[in-house]
Amino acid sequence: MAGDDGAVPRPMAVELVSVGDELLTGEVVNTNASWLATELYAQGVQTRRVATIPDAIDTIAGTVRRARSRADAVLVTGGIGPTRDDVTMAGVARACGVALEEHAGAERWLTEEGGYRATDLDPDTTALPAGARFLRNPAGVAPGAVIEGIYVFPGVPRELKAMFELVRGEFSGPEQATMTVECAEPESALLDRLAYVDDTYPVSVGSYPGDSVRVVIRGPDPTAVEDAATWLREHAELVDQRKR
């Protein structure tokens, strides 16, 4: 979608931060980052960087602070809750220069809708960065938070997905057109033509070798994407041609 001056609007840019020692030891596969990147891309949002970091307050604070300086929004997953290794909220609070404080809205939600008694809740369960917006957890207990463009979600995939639905509408951008060209030539033989497409058309080009070379052409202008794909099809040997 073009702006009033005909220019294509700049896509919303985000960075993802995955927190958890278990991700760094390989005990748990980080499916959250790939799921979020896929969902965000479908809404016209570009994921510029993904970081996987340990459960350490200083590391979380520094990583989130730097990410926020570069991106329109930062999505943090993992490390929230009442256990000793759940330090993500503390790290985000430090990144924003605020303290952690018990959030009345989070406690009210857990007691009125979650079926918990206030006396049964560990105080750390409802401790959020001061001034943060509370996000309820439709599939679990630990609440999420939003502060200064930083979104904090649980690491449990089903809880992340349920909570993301509450804020999905806050992430949008110009729709990205995508076309794929399956080439029968080796990737090394295609380098000059891939470079030509990249230099000539306002698109991004990615090549992924396997049994064939899958060339993916993306961009905000559908016509430019189609023109680039057409040119490549006319100047490369295609998988369909090899099968004839």
- The 8-class DSSP code of residue 83 comes to S
Q: E strand or H helix at 2, and its extent? A: none
Strands 150-153 and 144-147: antiparallel
pLDDT beyond 50 at 200: yes
- The 8-class DSSP code of residue 131 comes to T
Mention every residue, 6+ apart, whose C-beta is less than 8 A from residue 51. 15, 16, 17, 18, 63, 67
Domain with residues 12-170, CATH architecture: 3-Layer(aba) Sandwich (3.40)
Mean pLDDT of the chain: 92
**Rounded distance between C-alpha atoms, residue 205 and residue 180, angstroms:** 10
pLDDT beyond 60 at 158: yes
Three-class SS state of 216: strand
Class at the top of the CATH hierarchy for domain 177-243: alpha beta
Domain spans of the chain, in order of start: 12-170, 177-243
**202-215 pLDDT, tens digit each:** 999 999 999 999 99
Report the b/e string of 22-40 with b at 16+ CB within 10 A. bbeeeebebebbeebbebb
Q: What is the mean pLDDT of residues 18-31?
A: 97
Q: Confidence class of residue 176 from pLDDT cuts 50, 70 and 90?
A: confident
**93-148 pLDDT, tens digit each:** 999 999 999 999 998 888 887 666 666 667 778 899 999 999 999 999 899 999 99
pLDDT beyond 70 at 21: yes
pLDDT beyond 50 at 3: no
pLDDT beyond 70 at 199: yes
Per cent of the chain over pLDDT 90 is: 80
Q: Confidence class of residue 220 from pLDDT cuts 50, 70 and 90?
A: confident
Q: Confidence class of residue 244 from pLDDT cuts 50, 70 and 90?
A: very low
Q: What's CA 210's distance to the chain center, in Å?
A: 26
Q: What is the mean pLDDT of residues 69-91?
A: 95
Instruction: Name which of 183, 181, 119, 170 is nearest 144 in CA terms.
Output: 170
